[in-house]
Chain A
Amino acid sequence: MRSLPTSSAARGQVRCPRRLRFGIPADTLFCHLLVLLVVLVTVVDAHAQKPTASEVEAAYVYNFAKYVRWPPHNAGNFDICILGNDPFGNALDQIAHGEQIDGEPLAIRRIRSASDTLGCRILFLGSSESKRLEQDITLLGTRPILTVSDINDFARQGGTIQFVNDNGRVRFVINRSAAEKCGLALSSELLKVAKLVLPDNRLGRE
């Protein structure tokens, strides 16, 4: 059994019992197998792993900034705001680092309430907002902010883009009338790739 590169305590004291007795053999065998497999895993290249849904969502949000046109506004930062719990980790920050949209530098802002959205171009609502979704959407009114979330039923409740899980892939649903209400123009590229565009199709399942 190869010794592990970490704690010296492990090397000296811990090993799989070797004595075979009635009821014990299976334990020993599995202990060895378990250890072997975990060692194998730490050695094997972990880059072949699949990305998480949040990482893909972060990449989508960056793309939305490129495929949506906002009404004319004063120049400033292109703020992507996150309201409520943030599932992205540092993925969104990494993607946005040093980037610009139409000459405006991208910045990520975390905010505490839907009334704090001055200057936000895109607003991502975390799952903690699911209970006060209706209030948030009402507060946002017709401000030209692209609202994005993975909260269940988000698009049907008035959000603009909702992430959904489609057989292990991340897709999105667009609520076209919500976009039009805010004066946002969605590129046909975006509409083409969407899983569903409301209100033409129907959404909803138990």
Chain B
Amino acid sequence: MTNRGRNLLLQCVLLCVLPASAQIASTYPDQEVQNLKQMSLEQLSQIQVTTTAKEPVPQNRVAAAIYVITSEDIRRSGVTSIADALRLAPGVEVGRFSSDYWAISIRGLQNNFSQQVLVLIDGRSVYTPLFAGVYWDIQDMPLEDVERIEVVRGPGATIWGPNAVNGVINIITKNSADTQGAMVSALGGTVDRTIDTVQYGGKIGADASYRVYAHGLFRENEYHANHQDFDQWHQERGGFRTDWNPQNNSILFEGDIYGGVSPHLVGNSPQDDDVSGGDLLARWRHHFQGGSDFYLQGYFDRTIRIGPAFGETRNTIDIDFLHHIKFGRHNDVSWGGEARWSPYRFIGIPNAIEILPNVATNYLYSAFAQDELDFFQNRLAVTIGSKFEDTSPGGFDAQPSLRVLWAPNEKRSYWASVSRAVSTPSTLETGYLLRGVTPGLTIQVLGNPNFQNETMLAYEAGYRQLFSKKFYVDVAAFHNTYGSLQSFGAEQISVATTPPPPHLLVSIPYTNQIGGWANGVEIAPSFQATHWWRLTGSYSYLGINTYANGATSDISATGSVSTYDHSTPQHTVEVQSTINLPKGFEFDQFYWYASSLPAQKVPAYQTMNVRFGWKIAHWDLSIDGQNLFQPYHYEWGTGDPTQQLIGIKRAAYAKVVWTSTAAK
């Protein structure tokens, strides 16, 4: 299948490139420009313009591997969830496990406990310290409200929080001033049964605006070979956002509330988790004359997830501030701090599945400072900084970073960096107790209160070049060395007498016995073939090699040498093509390929979303096909041999979006 699939794809691409090259060869229409020249000021202010190619220059000056997924990229990709939208960025591995579970990582170490990536929504961390990862099912917001997603690969910036070891994903929602009027979005499909949003935005006085929304979804189950169709789920949410801009200030206040049912597999029995929660966030940013600024932010987040086997309720309170000062023309200093308290209660099954202690508070205190110095008329920029953290679990750690950027002109830039980053332990790693009892034998997996921070030293470099107005390339390469990665220690066998009768006790602790390295490269070209056809894509290569520093027992999908080495695709490719046809019609394709995951027995796959859209006046209509190459395909597995792989199905849907304000 793959060979044929590849041939087929190649043929399709070739066929489509040829007419396009014919178009490029023809002369650029001058008539349009002459028409514009004749127009009055009033007429010019009424004309609708095409969305321009992504402006690469601002990113040109960042000494890190950054990629911005715009709301237009998301709209035209055919994806229906935030997690799937992340496939659009290079270096991000997205493995959809079931209808409501995704394993997402940046530059490797991908498993459903992906603790190496920090994920923020408008600055609020959605990472759960419970298993050190992100529950993507409860991050389901209306995609129409996403302004952009900034993806920084690597220990992006000293200023981001802990666990930004392999990267930061910052999901930014639209300012309420940009979502005025009423909006109704309705989707009906074969697997995404329905996803609907109703929203209204208005103004408050001259300086402020708001929006309120209600949103719900219902998704069918994916493909199960054993017919255990457990992963049907639904969720409802509502929220608001207000923005106020009195002179030189911007104030943001937003909140959400949600509830639903998210099914998961525990071993090989499904359980339905009741999920609910909400958040409130306030941020104040003040601009000083001369370019300095300051922000202060606080948020409250509550998550509840209760299933028949275990559950957790958690509240999080976070305050953070950042002060950015410009000293003269060549010196840019940032400093700030953060404090976070996260009390939780874990509800388990005594002596079978527990977190000890089951009621406690995770906390985090951090401070950072960073200085950027510019030389040679801003052609050379050197940034040095460090973040200092004290966390529970985890302890104290420092994460220094040095970055250099050389931009000889506005078309080209080179950058390099060295940084140290740390991943704090999850509550699982320090306090877990999983116990299986049979007559005469008890086996238990134990959290380790002395579990250390996982550490990484990253060496990165990159190059960006704008070849012509139409062609831009961004290349990034890295070499990471890891220490103290999570592993499971050797079995400790003893005879225990409590509880009677005497029995054999086998204990397997969480330890930090694995080290290793990873290296890779990401190449992301962007090509504006004609003014109506744009192609963007990326190729990412990742090689990981880990080894154990002591005896280990490879009992699970996480924390073993073979799973670290072989649970991330070595090669991933994605290509997005958007074609603007006359009269508002749109024809878009989004293709991706991931090589195999030997540890999870997931074969290599490639698939495509195709979208036909029509955007006029107040309407944005589309018919989309998802995962079209096969009836179903596997993307990820837990590696647990008792759990079957779940196939992600081919699907189709129709979507209608109506806005009361004029066309965008």
Interface residues of B in 11-49 (CB under 8 A from A): 11-12, 14-16, 18-23, 29-34, 36-37, 39-42, 44-49
CB distance from A112 to the nearest CB of B (A): 10
**Cβ of B20: which chain A residues have Cβ within 8 Å of it?**
38, 42
Question: Is there an interface contact between A39 and B19, defined as CB atoms closer than 8 Å?
Answer: yes
Within 8 Å of chain B (Cβ to Cβ): is A185? no
**Cβ of A195: which chain B residues have Cβ within 8 Å of it?**
45
Question: Is there an interface contact between B19 and A38, defined as CB atoms closer than 8 Å?
Answer: yes
Question: Is there an interface contact between A94 and B30, defined as CB atoms closer than 8 Å?
Answer: yes
CB-CB under 8 A for A202 and B587, given A31-B8, A63-B44: no
User: Contacting A167 at CB < 8 Å: which of B175, B245, B247, B661?
Assistant: B661
Within 8 Å of chain A (Cβ to Cβ): is B229? no
Secondary structure call for the A interface: helix
Of B132-140, B389-397, B625-633, the one touching chain A: B625-633
Rounded to whole angstroms, the CA-CA distance of A194 and B382 in the bound complex is 40
Question: Is there an interface contact between B49 and A170, defined as CB atoms closer than 8 Å?
Answer: yes
Of A70-78, A122-130, A140-148, A175-183, the one touching chain B: A122-130
Interface residues as binary, A39-73 with B (CB distance below 8 Å gives 1, 0 otherwise): 10110111111111111101110110001000000
Chain B interface, number of residues (Cβ within 8 angstroms)? 85
Interface residues of A in 1-38 (CB under 8 A from B): 4-7, 10, 14-17, 23-24, 26-28, 30-31, 34-35, 37-38
CB-CB under 8 A for A167 and B662, given A202-B247, A206-B252: yes
User: Contacting A169 at CB < 8 Å: which of B48, B58, B60, B650?
Assistant: B48
Rounded to whole angstroms, the CA-CA distance of A157 and B48 in the bound complex is 27
**Cβ of A85: which chain B residues have Cβ within 8 Å of it?**
57, 410-411
Question: Is there an interface contact between A30 and B608, defined as CB atoms closer than 8 Å?
Answer: yes
Question: Is there an interface contact between A202 and B246, defined as CB atoms closer than 8 Å?
Answer: yes
Question: Is there an interface contact between B44 and A60, defined as CB atoms closer than 8 Å?
Answer: yes
Within 8 Å of chain A (Cβ to Cβ): is B227? no
Q: How large is the interface on A (under 10, 10 to 19, 20 to 34, 35 or more residues)?
A: 35 or more
Question: Is there an interface contact between B245 and A168, defined as CB atoms closer than 8 Å?
Answer: no
Question: Is there an interface contact between B16 and A84, defined as CB atoms closer than 8 Å?
Answer: no
Interface residues of A in 184-206 (CB under 8 A from B): 189-190, 193, 195, 201-202, 204-206
Question: Is there an interface contact between A168 and B5, defined as CB atoms closer than 8 Å?
Answer: no
Within 8 Å of chain A (Cβ to Cβ): is B1? yes
Of B104-112, B477-485, B576-584, the one touching chain A: B576-584
Question: Is there an interface contact between A55 and B33, defined as CB atoms closer than 8 Å?
Answer: yes
Rounded to whole angstroms, the CA-CA distance of A62 and B14 in the bound complex is 42
CB distance from B614 to the nearest CB of A (A): 14
Within 8 Å of chain B (Cβ to Cβ): is A134? yes
CB-CB under 8 A for A10 and B610, given A42-B19, A49-B50, A202-B206: no
Within 8 Å of chain A (Cβ to Cβ): is B81? no
**Cβ of B31: which chain A residues have Cβ within 8 Å of it?**
47
Question: Is there an interface contact between A44 and B582, defined as CB atoms closer than 8 Å?
Answer: yes
CB-CB under 8 A for A205 and B582, given A10-B18, A47-B29, A50-B48: no
CB distance from B190 to the nearest CB of A (A): 13
Within 8 Å of chain A (Cβ to Cβ): is B290? yes
User: Contacting A5 at CB < 8 Å: which of B22, B42, B625?
Assistant: B22
Question: Is there an interface contact between B41 and A51, defined as CB atoms closer than 8 Å?
Answer: no
User: Contacting B8 at CB < 8 Å: which of A17, A37, A47, A206?
Assistant: A17
Question: Is there an interface contact between A34 and B664, defined as CB atoms closer than 8 Å?
Answer: no
CB-CB under 8 A for A49 and B661, given A6-B18, A94-B34: no
CB-CB under 8 A for A27 and B629, given A14-B11, A37-B587, A205-B245: yes
CB distance from A74 to the nearest CB of B (A): 28
Question: Is there an interface contact between A26 and B245, defined as CB atoms closer than 8 Å?
Answer: no
Interface residues as binary, B62-92 with A (CB distance below 8 Å gives 1, 0 otherwise): 0000000000000000000000000000000
Question: Is there an interface contact between B582 and A49, defined as CB atoms closer than 8 Å?
Answer: yes
Question: Is there an interface contact between B410 and A128, defined as CB atoms closer than 8 Å?
Answer: yes
Rounded to whole angstroms, the CA-CA distance of A124 and B19 in the bound complex is 36
User: Contacting A51 at CB < 8 Å: which of B21, B47, B60, B628?
Assistant: B47
CB distance from A187 to the nearest CB of B (A): 10
Rounded to whole angstroms, the CA-CA distance of A105 and B276 in the bound complex is 68
7 A-B interface contacts by CB (under 8 A): A17-B11, A34-B12, A42-B22, A85-B410, A128-B60, A167-B661, A190-B41
Supply 18 further A-B pairs (C-beta < 8 A) apart from A134-B329, A193-B45, A206-B252: A14-B14, A31-B8, A34-B589, A44-B582, A46-B23, A49-B29, A49-B532, A51-B33, A51-B50, A55-B36, A59-B36, A60-B44, A89-B469, A94-B30, A94-B34, A131-B374, A168-B49, A169-B45
